[in-house]
Amino acid sequence: MRRGKPATRETVCVTGMSGRLGGILHRALAPDFELVALNRSAVPGVRTIRADLRRPDSIGDALAGIDAIVHLAAYPFADDDAGEILPTNVLGTLHLLEAARRAGVRRLVFGSSLSAIGGHRPAFLELCRGRRFLSAARKIAFLEAQESPRPDSLYGVSKVFGEALCRLYVDRHGFSCVCLRLAEVRPDDRPNPHDPHGARILCRHADFLAGVRAALARTRRPGFEIRTLISDDFRDAEPRGVPRRRKPGARVAGGAARRA
């Protein structure tokens, strides 16, 4: 029996592939996609477009033939230097969108951040420091996936701008964009040991990869979406003794011994 012609793999351009997130994507997506890196420096093992997003002329027409873009390149430090954050994260995103428009690329996954809504968090974190978390938590509403922006830093502000630029290009130029508000993706795939709330703002590698794959598939249809990408890891804020008082002899394992 004659075999059918193999399906052509989509060509996906990943910005910032030399960074932490880009490296995770490179290893996982290479078997299923034709990957192209857009990076300031060459990325070993992948075709690289050497470009600086702060300089639109360095991109030129290099995006021709690309099916979709995953935009992860960013200056990551929260309030370090507005002179770096704004040109890289805001103007860089605008320059990328404009280059994509000129090249006829209309599908983009934007790596946003929980920092875009992190300003909603202080009341929740203050509550976590108390001992009566489970009963008191019912008084605080959970953030919705489409929560209005409330950035917690200049970095968060830059991500809000990026989401707004994606919205503009969807409305004005017919793009299809999914903005992923990412929790923290750590190199060791574990909560930050120096942050008592790290387990609540963690995105594990498997969840990050699944989210990007789903977002790429979603961009095959027109539209704009903002999604929160965070792992279902939650550490009980009440001390280990509470379950034992409620049920004598109960065995308590994991991280319940310490308050988050």
Q: What is the mean pLDDT of residues 128-153?
A: 60
Q: Tell me whether residue 75 is one of the annotated catalytic residues.
A: no
Question: Of 145, 125, 147, whose CA–CA distance to 136 is shortest?
Answer: 125
Q: What is the mean pLDDT of residues 15-44?
A: 94
The helix-helix angle for 20-29 and 205-218 (nearest 10°) equals: 70
Options 155, 161, 169, 208, the catalytic residue: 155
Question: Of 136, 260, 103, whose CA–CA distance to 191 is shortest?
Answer: 260
Q: Is 190 inside a domain boundary?
A: yes
CA distance 186 to 115: 16
Q: Is 131 inside a domain boundary?
A: yes
For residue 188, what is the domain's CATH number? 3.40.50.720
Question: Of 236, 224, 235, 233, whose CA–CA distance to 205 is shortest?
Answer: 233
Q: What is the mean pLDDT of residues 28-47?
A: 94
Flag whether pLDDT at 180 surpasses 80.
yes
Q: What is the mean pLDDT of residues 81-89?
A: 89
Query: What integer best gives the mean pLDDT of the chain?
Result: 81
pLDDT digits (tens, 9 = 90+) for 191-202: 777 765 555 678
pLDDT digits (tens, 9 = 90+) for 95-106: 999 999 999 999
When divided into structural domains, the chain yields a total of: 1
Q: What's this model's pTM, rounded to 2 decimal places?
A: 0.79
CA distance 100 to 216: 16
User: What is the pLDDT at residue 247?
Assistant: 52
Q: What is the side-by-side order of every strand in the sheet holding 107-113?
A: 47-50, 34-39, 11-15, 68-71, 107-113, 176-182, 223-229
Q: Is 33 inside a domain boundary?
A: yes
Q: Is 89 inside a domain boundary?
A: yes
CA distance 170 to 237: 42
**Range list of β-strands (E), the chain:** 11-15, 34-39, 47-50, 68-71, 107-113, 176-182, 223-229
Flag whether pLDDT at 136 surpasses 80.
no
Q: What is the mean pLDDT of residues 70-95?
A: 89
Q: What is the mean pLDDT of residues 221-248?
A: 66
Domain encompassing residue 91: 11-257
Give the model's confidence band at 141: pLDDT under 50 very low, under 70 low, under 90 confident, else very high: low
Q: Is 5 inside a domain boundary?
A: no
Flag whether pLDDT at 35 surpasses 70.
yes
User: What is the pLDDT at residue 121?
Assistant: 65
Give the model's confidence band at 37: pLDDT under 50 very low, under 70 low, under 90 confident, else very high: very high
Flag whether pLDDT at 31 surpasses 60.
yes
Flag whether pLDDT at 61 surpasses 50.
yes
Q: Is 4 inside a domain boundary?
A: no
